[in-house]
């Protein structure tokens, strides 16, 4: 009986740890937790009405993901990203996607047959995420866009068939968005200024047209850099 109870407690704590990490990640992505903002484990534990242990574990997880930094005086603080950081993140995610598309063009098992019902269904789901992301981008709704954009890329990269690459790309994209939000939240109107080429990318990959897919991503990266660098100068 005691072993069963211990396992249940561990599962509960692990679930709580993930819930807290997800909630704090959303706060950072929404810009409600500001760059450089510091807080202690106790403050977060009190805020959520939980014990310190899962909070500390969640904050360590977010630090490992590059969203927070340990602060010896206050506990943790939201990481501040520079323009150089953003350029490095864009380059890193570009190298990952370009390598994936290159391998797909050479017959990698991912997207092996767009006509296969399972692959077609997965691509249709990714396309729906892309459509929602594009609507949010057109409306200038940054928070909604981030949610759909992250799901879009997560599901799209999962089709490649390498979970390690998918996880790595997701982490890069989360960090990219954190960096972008720190600059874009100060702009008065984002309507029509955010990238919205999601469905074009899916359609190119559905056709196994990796050259067009690469061109779409290259245009996206150029757009992102111009937007963030412009926001820094506003």
pLDDT at 1 over 90: no
pLDDT value at residue 146: 95
How far apart, in whole angstroms, are the C-alpha atoms of residue 15 and residue 21?
10
Q: Would the pLDDT of 130 be above 70?
A: yes
pLDDT at 4 over 50: no
Four-residue CA torsion sign, 51, 54, 60, 61: negative
Beta strand segments in 72-220, E: 75-78
Residue 152 has pLDDT above 80, yes or no: yes
Q: Are 65 and 71 in contact (CB under 8 A)?
A: no
2-78: CATH topology is Arc Repressor Mutant, subunit A (1.10.10)
pLDDT at 115: 66
pLDDT digits 0-9 by tens, 74-89: 799 999 999 999 999 9
Q: How far apart are CA 219 and CA 212, in angstroms?
A: 10
Selected residue with higher pLDDT from 193 and 7: 193
d(CA 27, CA 44): 12
% pLDDT > 70, the chain: 89
Q: Which residues pair with 71 in a beta bridge?
A: 75
pLDDT tens-digit readout, 40-66: 999 999 999 999 999 999 999 999 999
Question: Rounded to the nearest 5 degrees, what angle is found at the Cα of 166, between the Cα atoms of 130 and 7?
Answer: 110
Of 6-10, 111-115, 156-160, give the lowest mean pLDDT range.
6-10
b/e per residue 207-219 (b: at least 16 CB within 10 A): eeebebbbebbee
Mean pLDDT of the chain: 88
DSSP state of 69: E
End-to-end CA distance of the chain: 63
SS3 call for 57: helix
Q: State the pLDDT at residue 74.
A: 73
3-state secondary structure of 191: coil
Indicate the domain borders of the chain: 2-78, 83-233
Question: Residue 27's pLDDT is what?
Answer: 92
pLDDT at 13: 57
154 in Cβ contact with 170 (< 8 Å): yes
- Give the separation between CA 129 and CA 155, rounded to whole angstroms: 9
Query: How much of the chain exceeds pLDDT 90, in percent?
Result: 66
The pLDDT assigned to 12 comes to 58
pLDDT the model gives residue 2: 35
- 206 within 8 A of 222, measured Cβ to Cβ: no
CATH number of 83-233: 1.20.120
68: buried, middle or exposed (CB in 10 Å: 19+, 13-18, 0-12)?
buried
Residue 79 in tokens? 């990481």
Q: How far apart are CA 56 and CA 21, in angstroms?
A: 10
Segment 105-120 mean pLDDT:
68
């Amino acid at each position: 009986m005691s072993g069963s109870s211990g396992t249940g407690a561990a599962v509960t704590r692990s679930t709580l740890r993930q819930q807290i990490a997800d909630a704090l990640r959303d706060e950072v992505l929404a810009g409600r937790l500001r760059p450089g903002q510091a807080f202690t484990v106790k403050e977060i534990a009190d805020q959520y009405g939980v014990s310190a242990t899962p909070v500390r574990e969640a904050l360590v997880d977010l630090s490992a993901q590059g969203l927070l930094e340990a602060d010896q005086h206050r506990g943790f603080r939201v990481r501040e990203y520079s323009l150089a950081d953003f350029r490095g993140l864009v380059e890193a995610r570009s190298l990952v996607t370009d390598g994936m598309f290159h391998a797909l063009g050479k017959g990698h098992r991912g997207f092996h047959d767009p006509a296969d019902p399972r692959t077609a269904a997965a691509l249709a789901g990714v396309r729906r995420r892309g459509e929602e992301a594009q609507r949010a981008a057109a409306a200038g709704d940054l928070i909604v866009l981030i949610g759909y954009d992250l799901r879009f890329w997560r599901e799209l990269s999962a089709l490649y068939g390498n979970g390690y690459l998918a996880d790595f790309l997701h982490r890069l994209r989360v960090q990219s968005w954190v960096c972008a939000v720190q600059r874009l939240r100060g702009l008065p109107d984002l309507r029509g200024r955010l990238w919205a080429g999601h469905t074009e990318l899916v359609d190119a990959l559905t056709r196994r047209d990796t050259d067009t897919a690469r061109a779409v991503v290259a245009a996206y990266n150029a757009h992102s850099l111009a937007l963030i660098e412009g926001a820094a100068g506003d």
